[in-house]
Amino acid sequence: MAEDRNPRVGIPILLFTIILIGLYYNFTRAADPLAFTLFVLVIIGMMGFIYLLMSYSGEKESKLYGLKPLIDKIPAVKRPEGHVHFRTKMMWTLGILVFYFVMTNVMMYGLEQSIDIFSEFRAIMAGANGSLMHLGIGPIVTGSIIMQLFTGAKIIKLDLTNEEDKAIYQGTQKVVVLMMIVIEAVPQVYGYLVPHASFIDAIGDTPARLTIVVQLIVGSYLVFLMDEVVSKWGIGSGISMFIAAGVSEAIFTGTVNWMPTSASENIYPGSPSGTFPKTVLLVQKMSIGEIAGGGWEAIFIREPNPILALVGTIVIFLVVAYAESSRIELPLAHGRVRGARGRYPIRLIYASNIPVILMAALLANINMFSLLLWNHPSLSKIPLIGHKWWIGAFKPGETQPYMGGAWYLSRPNGVGDWLLPLMNWDRYGGFVTGHNYYQVLAHCLVYLGVMIIGSILFAKFWIETTNMGPEAVAKQIQSSGMQIPGFRRDPRVLRKVLDRYIPVVTIISGAFVGALAGLADMIGTVGQTSGTGVLLAVGIIIRLYEEIGKEQMMEMHPVLRGFFGGD
């Protein structure tokens, strides 16, 4: 590969690296040697990544082939050489699920205090605050977002139907994920993940913080490998399974938890936080007059886990279950075997729940970086963007913005954050202190609009990068020997027919899941899982059930593996 590179490209990259390091040193005065060292290492890694891209001068059109020496050295889960039996896939899937729950309960060594900057998105991030799963699936999904945006903007020029190009694309995504793990892990040891005082006394402040960073990186990389194990040796997607597991646990505890929390103490002394036990206790303790005079608000609408949130959760479940079963079915007939017929289903939710996962991860990253820019010891000093209220302002000790662009992109937490104030500002305006009527209205419209438009864009990008577009589906049907009755057996004819449905359904699919997730967030759900989290969990469980059925079918009828893309 040396002869395929232009080393002169490295000169301006080296100069730019030195300038960046000098500017960082000048603005921060290198108050913390660990912060400075980690910053230098991150910058060197990113500039090395850019050098490998820009210096490539080989015969391949895409510059991403310049990353091949790095991609080949990244540890990865080996793909099975032959068919993996259904029982083996189930064993790997269940084993990884158990390991996931173990990791969410293994707290980081030496950690004393942890501020969860992902608290509003914790269910979707599929992690646990302060544990080895602190970052959850955030870096993986963020890496996928970056790659999809570059692919959709035609910056990445790869033919994903070509095996070699597809391998380079997936390898590049791994590199980006590794970079995002470091970028998300390093800033959190300053003000958010604080080592224990005795741990600092034993080994020193810098080694203690470095230990936390290493645990974050190792935990996140294990999540990355676990996802690969499920994708290659199990059933479905590891990321999706982790989200469904975390949301299901939160819904269960939010419904039946009898332990009180600080929020439930404000309603009635010692009241449980779960919907059922809290409702039973309040009905028993309150008189008719207390319930009529305002106690009904504590039962039906006030956090934590009011009855309205439980009703919203059930409604989301039913709507998603119905939408998942809605589809357009194209009739198919085998070109050579008479009487062999089938149907190709084009679902209403054609792009699955992936657009919502990507949107939620994008908003989580916006919230995280706005918080870091507001109060991080080093990042808040960056000129033009550091500690600026219009990006996002946060109260001390809180991780949810109360003003700025980040606030308009944050999810409303139930009807108390928008519907009740908009209906009766005099009585409920205090629920949203610091904002007026029109700001609350704009917050709802901006959040819902961003969820819908963003989900549509990600749905289109996802279809393009996963071989679910009209051309790829036409080739898949053609290779299986099937055709649409009444049409010539030609991939171009098939594509024209599919062009009538897939692009339109993709847009409808993205808009539907985005609107449903946004509205569900605004209604609220039990367990603080967010409407997006419930939508994802229901869709994932339904898809996993179908995947298991498909695997069993292919096990009984091996001839179907070719049609479903199996080995």
* Cα 171 to Cα 66: distance, rounded to the nearest angstrom: 11
b/e per residue 455-475 (b: at least 16 CB within 10 A): bbbbbbbbbbbeebbbbbbbe
What local confidence, expressed as pLDDT, does residue 449 receive? 95
Name the nearest CA neighbour of 41 among 183, 205, 251, 202.
183
Domain with CATH 1.10.3370.10 in the chain: 86-257+328-564
Q: Which tens digits make up the pLDDT trace of 309-338?
A: 888 888 888 888 888 888 888 777 766 556
What pLDDT, on a 0 to 100 scale, did the predictor assign at position 263?
62
Task: Please write the tens of the pLDDT for every residue from 13-54.
Answer: 999 999 888 887 776 655 567 777 878 888 888 888 889 888
Strand residue runs (E) in 19-159: 111-114
* E strand or H helix at 400: none
**Strands, DSSP E only, in 60-215?**
111-114, 193-195
| pTM (2 d.p.) | 0.80
Q: Which residue has the higher pLDDT, 519 or 83?
A: 519
Report the alpha-carbon distance of residue 361 to residue 179 in Å, rounded. 16
| Distance in angstroms (rounded) separating the CA atoms of residues 313 and 216 | 32
Helix runs in 267-306, H state only: 275-285, 288-290, 296-300
> Three-state SS across 460-518?
HHHHHHCCCCHHHHHHHHHHCCEECCCCCCCHHHHHHHHHCCHHHHHHHHHHHHHHHHH
| Alpha-carbon distances, residue 336 vs 289, 491, 497 (angstroms) | 77, 16, 21
Mean of per-residue pLDDT scores for the chain = 83
Query: Would the pLDDT of 264 be above 60?
Result: no
What are 77-127's pLDDT values in tens digits? Answer: 888 887 788 889 999 999 999 999 999 999 999 998 778 888 777 877 888
What is the tens place of the pLDDT at every residue in 366-375?
998 999 899 8
**pLDDT at position 69, please?**
86
Indicate the fold that domain 86-257+328-564 takes in CATH. Preprotein translocase SecY subunit (1.10.3370)
pLDDT score recorded for residue 192: 83
Distances 437 to 160, 364, 402, 416 between C-alpha atoms, Å: 49, 26, 15, 13
Residue 337's pLDDT is 56
- Amino acid 408: pLDDT: 95
C-alpha 150/C-alpha 311 separation (Å) is 40
Three-class DSSP category at 342? strand
- Please say whether the beta carbons of 140 and 239 come within 8 A: yes
Q: For residue 266, name the pLDDT band (cuts at 50, 70, 90).
A: low
Least confident of 253-257, 295-299, 499-503: 295-299
Cβ atoms of 523 and 364 within 8 Å: the answer is no
Lowest mean pLDDT among 94-98, 208-212, 483-487: 483-487
Q: Do residues 160 and 122 lie in contact, with contact meaning Cβ atoms separated by under 8 Å? A: no
Structure tokens belonging to residue 170: 């997936």
Please state whether the peptide bond connecting residue 304 to the residue before it is cis, i.e. omega within 30 degrees of 0.
yes
From the centroid of its chain, how far is CA 183? 16
Q: Which of 107-116, 169-178, 465-474, 541-550 has the lowest mean pLDDT?
A: 465-474
**pLDDT the model gives residue 335:** 60
**Contact 404/434 with Cβ under 8 angstroms?**
no
